[in-house]
């Protein structure tokens, strides 16, 4: 790897870590604002979700954290996530059948969903030409469009036959 490439990679990692920290601290403030007690369980959940790009379900987060926090209940996971999405500090996504998924990235973006393994990948909006759909959506009679969310369905690189 070239030195410049290495430096770029390192700065991307640093940026990602900073974004995670910023999200986590906003989430902690949000929970405090919602009157929830900041227990170690809730703080661990916030830390887990803030850096998670996999769009996990509540159950997945619960199972991931349970080994380290055996006394945590599913209700705690659920009510913490509910408070965060109520405060718009995480987004809920219904991208496929099954339980809702939680997304720490609240900025507008699209999603690509693998029909085989169910993996959900964030798609930055500017990477795909959107004008046509966006224009059409803005003309829905009597309906005010705030934003357009797209879901690209297909097969991910890991599931595609080699």
Does the protein bind Zn ion through residue 22 (CB under 5 A)? no
Pair of tokens at residue 35? 């009157």
Does the protein bind Zn ion through residue 50 (CB under 5 A)? no
- Interface with Zn ion (CB under 5 A), residue from 16, 117, 128, 145: 117
Distance CA 24, CA 89 (A): 9
CB 53 within 8 A of CB 101: no
Q: How far is the CB of 20 from Zn ion (least distance, A)?
A: 14
Candidates 10-18, 43-51, 70-78, 115-123 — which segment interacts with Zn ion by CB under 5 A?
115-123
Q: How far is the CB of 128 from Zn ion (least distance, A)?
A: 14
Strand arrangement, sheet containing 151-154: 120-123, 110-114, 151-154
Exposure string (b/e) for 7-32, b if CB count within 10 Å is 16 or more? eeeeeeeeeeeeebeebbebbbebbe
User: Which helix (H) or strand (E) segment is 49 a member of?
Assistant: helix 40-50
Q: How far is the CB of 33 from Zn ion (least distance, A)?
A: 24
Does the protein bind Zn ion through residue 103 (CB under 5 A)? yes
Does the protein bind Zn ion through residue 122 (CB under 5 A)? yes
Q: Which residues bind Zn ion (CB under 5 A)?
A: 103, 105, 114, 116-117, 119, 122, 156, 159
């Amino acid at each position: 790897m070239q030195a410049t490439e290495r430096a770029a990679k390192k700065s991307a990692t640093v940026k990602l870590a900073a974004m995670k920290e910023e999200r986590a601290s906003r989430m902690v403030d949000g929970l405090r604002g919602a009157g929830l007690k900041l227990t170690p369980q809730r703080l661990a959940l916030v830390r887990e979700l803030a850096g998670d790009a996999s769009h996990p379900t509540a159950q997945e987060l619960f199972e991931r954290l349970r080994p380290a926090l055996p006394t945590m209940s599913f209700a705690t996971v659920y009510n913490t996530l509910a408070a965060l999405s109520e405060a718009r500090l995480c987004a809920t996504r219904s991208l496929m059948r099954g339980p809702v998924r939680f997304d720490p990235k609240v900025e507008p973006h699209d999603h690509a969903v693998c029909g085989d393994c169910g993996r959900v990948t964030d798609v930055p909006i500017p990477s795909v030409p959107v004008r046509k759909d966006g224009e059409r959506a803005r003309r829905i009679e009597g309906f005010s469009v705030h934003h357009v969310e797209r879901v690209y369905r297909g097969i991910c690189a890991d599931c595609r036959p080699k």
